Each structure stands twice: as C-alpha cells, then as structure tokens.
Amino acid sequence: MTEYETWKEENNNGQGWKIKYYKGLGTSSAQEAKEYFSELQRHKIDFTWEGDEDGDAIDMAFSKKRVEDRKTWISKFEVPF
C-alpha cells in the first residue's frame, strides 16, 4: 500500500488510470481469469517440500485462521525489480 500511495501522489492522484483492488481470484472478471490461466506456466512456481517449516508456510498462506499472519507476510513482500 505504501508503494501504491507514493505512486498515486506522483501520478496526479491516479487520475486517468483505472485502479482495481484485487482481494483474491474471486475479484477477477471471467476475462481476467482466462488471461491469467492461459499463461499458467508464467505464473507457476515450483515447490519442493523440505520440512515442517514448509508445512507451516503453506498453512499460513491458506488457512482462514491465520489471516493476520498472512497480512504481515504479504506486507513484507518486495517486488523484485
């Protein structure tokens, strides 16, 4: 959100742009889902199970009971460009 707010301030408060918040795949339109899944190889990340920490990470990423943990995890993500 911080990066978005900075971008918005630097780009005329987002005027002239169509901005859409994606909470999950359910937010996507049918067309957007088709575009995403038509390039599945581009979006796929291979995973190798290496131990209990991996199980905890999967649980944190998908469990409805760990929403706050997931928000913290996502907020620390940095785009690699």
Q: What is the pLDDT of residues 15-26, one digit of tens each?
A: 999 888 877 767
Domain-embedded: residue 80? no
> Which pLDDT belongs to residue 9?
93
Residue-number span of the structural domain to which 20 is assigned: 2-75
Mean pLDDT computed over 58-76? 92
Domain-embedded: residue 32? yes
DSSP, collapsed to helix, strand or coil, labels residue 14 as: helix
Domain-embedded: residue 17? yes
DSSP states of 51-81 as a string? SHHHHHHHHHHH-GGGHHHHHHHHHT-----
Instruction: Provide the number of structural domains found in the chain.
Output: 1
Question: Which sign, positive or negative, has the C-alpha torsion 39, 59, 4, 76?
Answer: negative
Domain-embedded: residue 81? no
Domain-embedded: residue 49? yes
Domain-embedded: residue 71? yes
Report the distance separating Cα 17 and Cα 9, nearest Å.
13
Interhelix angle 52-62/67-75, nearest 10 degrees: 100
Domain-embedded: residue 39? yes
Domain-embedded: residue 43? yes
> Which pLDDT belongs to residue 67?
93
Mean pLDDT computed over 19-48? 85
